[in-house]
Structure 1
Amino acid sequence: MAPIFKVAVCQLYPKPMQIEQNFNKAASYIRSAAAQGVELVVLPEYHLTNWIPKDPKFLPLCEQWETYLKKYQDLAKECKICIVPGTIVERHNDAEKEEDRLLNVAYFIDHTGEIIGKYIKKNLWGPEREHLTSSGRDVHEVFDTPLGRVGMLICWDLAFPEAFRELIYQGAKIIIIPTFWTLNDCSEAGLKLNPSAEAVFLDSVLTARTFENTCAIIFANAGGPPGRGYAGLSQVTVPYIGPLTRLGSCAEGMSVVDLDLGILEDAEENYKVRADLARDDWHYDYRHSKTKERL
């Protein structure tokens, strides 16, 4: 029989620049999850600082990334729980270019406090490109974890089926997606047509990705005060069912759910997505080359 894992998704409001307060709140949820027998807890993107890169206090906070990564490692070891601490923005000095680089990084920390997975955001949302450095053409990696083969994406990566295909091809069964996605990310034209357009996007694409890849998705988004555009909708989603749990748009909170990987085996038996990807004569390439002629 396929294993069943108890996982928790946390939807948090990251108070701008309140890094220690935000950490302490996250730590409280993690301890609560551990007390309930949870094996993995996932936090949202930018949960320590919020995303205000032009604020003069933002860059100095990003220099503290190692401090908070170590805090999460210690917490994982203390609570004997795996943690994906959303994303942590890291400030690095590039000596060759004599400039700073900001990286938006997700880590998988196991129950012993060891880092066993790391992913740097690849597909940057438009306003992020002025500030963050993408992982570019680095290959999406899959990690062996206590929950099996896991891949990680971040926020806007969700919009790219190719990212999922790379992970699924390598055997990922669970895709973890820390996110900071708001309703205000929609264009003015889109908002006029539907003020909740981004919610439609998230619910539709998350469910579609689980079906088309026979995988589970743990999606942890930021929530926040009403009227500020926070989308929320953090969820754990699987084929056949859709969301096993789904939080609202604004409220902070945590949801604990049993994730039965047998659902994924049943879905693969039905749709045979992974079997097709493994065929020698399969007709799609999932890595593109700049030298290829494009239509």
Structure 2
Amino acid sequence: MTVRTFAAAAAGFGRDLDEDFATIATLLGQARAAGADLLALPEAALGGYLSSLHDSGGRGEPVDVPPELEVDGPEVRRLIALAGDTVVTAGFCERGDEASGGRPYNSCVAVTGDGVLGHHRKVHQPLNENTSYAAGDRFAAFDTPIGRLGMMICYDKAFPEAARALAVDGARVVVCMSAWPAARTDPAPVLADDRWTRRFDLFDRARALENQIVWVSANQAGTFGDMRLVASAKIVDPGGEVLDTTGTEAGLAVASVDVDDAVDAARRFMGHLRDRRPRSYSRPSTPLVPARAG
């Protein structure tokens, strides 16, 4: 029996990296006090997210963009130094490369004090995010001190294929890091009643249940730019049950799970990965909708 304790953060992060690291240090201290083996921080925890998914300043270009960082740069090394024996996942704006034409990626890393364990670039881009970031092109699991792990960012979780690709690659725990806002049109007066809060929660539970994995969901909280973030960090078990959540407030969701026992028990009789019939899932000869450029 190997019980792992997971902590998922709902917190706000902005452009000031020193303030971001102060917040991370506080959350890491709280997670360690709770015995956490993994702390999941939100999308764009280093440098903040876009201040708007709609405003391009009338120039067709993004405004108020996050600082561009590098996977082997000083900011990630600072995160590594803080992590110690804890697995820490965090999102950031990654400097672009030749393949992206110089455009940055919306990325995340998993680290311990030993270095970078895994790296993911967000694949799916909502609204105008493609004017600010280049898209990633893959989902891959990787080994960590707490077992085989997968990562995704925000809108990635709206696509069942993303989580399924990680589960098929052996991930028994998936961390999803988000900067998920409430509805921009007709927002609910109470954040918990907002339709995009409900969708955020539904995606978390569905992805855990359909793949029979442990799901760790971190999200930004508070407000940033023109967005009101829904928080709602949580840990979900392989049956789709929420073990702990912050609700729509900032905080830390913490839960302990014997991952192998929980996953094996969930898959023993109704094994969703085992019972797939891939040859029956035919692909249409043409896309259902035109592919978006970028």
Q: Name the CA distance, whole Å, in 2 between partners of 1:294 and 1:120.
A: 23
Given the two structures, how large is their TM-score scaled by the length of structure 1? 0.83
Q: Name the CA distance, whole Å, in 2 between partners of 1:282 and 1:93.
A: 35
**Cα pair 1:10 1:253 within 8 Å, conserved:** yes
Among 51, 57, 60, the residue aligned to 2:49: 51
Q: State the identity as a percent.
A: 22
Q: Name the CA distance, whole Å, in 2 between partners of 1:118 and 1:214.
A: 23
Task: Find the counterpart in structure 1 of residue 175 from structure 2.
Answer: 176
Q: Name the CA distance, whole Å, in 1 between partners of 2:153 and 2:70.
A: 21
Gaps of 5+ in 1: none
Among 85, 90, 96, the residue aligned to 2:94: 90
Q: Name the CA distance, whole Å, in 1 between partners of 2:77 and 2:279.
A: 44
Structure 1 counterpart of 2:31, one-letter code: A
How many residues of Structure 1 are paired with residues of Structure 2 in the alignment?
A: 273
Which is helix-richer, 1 or 2? 1
Q: Deviations over 1:206-226 (max 9, x none)?
A: 112211111111000111159
Task: Find the counterpart in structure 1 of residue 109 from structure 2.
Answer: 107
- The 5 A counterparts of 1:134-173 are 134-136=135-137, 139-173=138-172
Q: Deviations over 1:48-94 (max 9, x none)?
A: 322236445x35x22477221010111123xx211112x11022353
Aligned-partner SS, 2:273: helix
Task: Find the counterpart in structure 1 of residue 58 from structure 2.
Answer: none
Q: Deviations over 1:145-174 (max 9, x none)?
A: 112111111100010001111111112111
**Cα pair 2:96 2:103 within 8 Å, conserved:** yes
Task: Find the counterpart in structure 2 of residue 266 from structure 1.
Answer: 265
Task: Find the counterpart in structure 2 of residue 283 from structure 1.
Answer: 279
- The 5 A counterparts of 1:1-295 are 1=1, 3-14=2-13, 16-52=14-50, 54-55=62-63, 58=65, 61-63=67-69, 66-77=73-84, 80-85=85-90, 87-94=91-98, 100-110=102-112, 112-136=113-137, 139-184=138-183, 188=185, 196-224=194-222, 229-240=228-239, 242-249=241-248, 251-261=249-259, 262-277=261-276, 282-284=278-280, 292-293=285-286
Structure 1 counterpart of 2:87, one-letter code: C
Q: Name the CA distance, whole Å, in 2 between partners of 1:255 and 1:189.
A: 29
**Cα shift at 1:190:** 8.1
**Cα pair 1:140 1:166 within 8 Å, conserved:** yes
**Cα shift at 1:116:** 1.5
Structure 1 counterpart of 2:86, one-letter code: I
**Cα shift at 1:285:** 5.4
Q: Name the CA distance, whole Å, in 1 between partners of 2:206 and 2:12.
A: 27
Q: Aligned pair in 2 of structure 1 residues 166, 241: CA closer, same or farther (>3 Å)?
A: closer
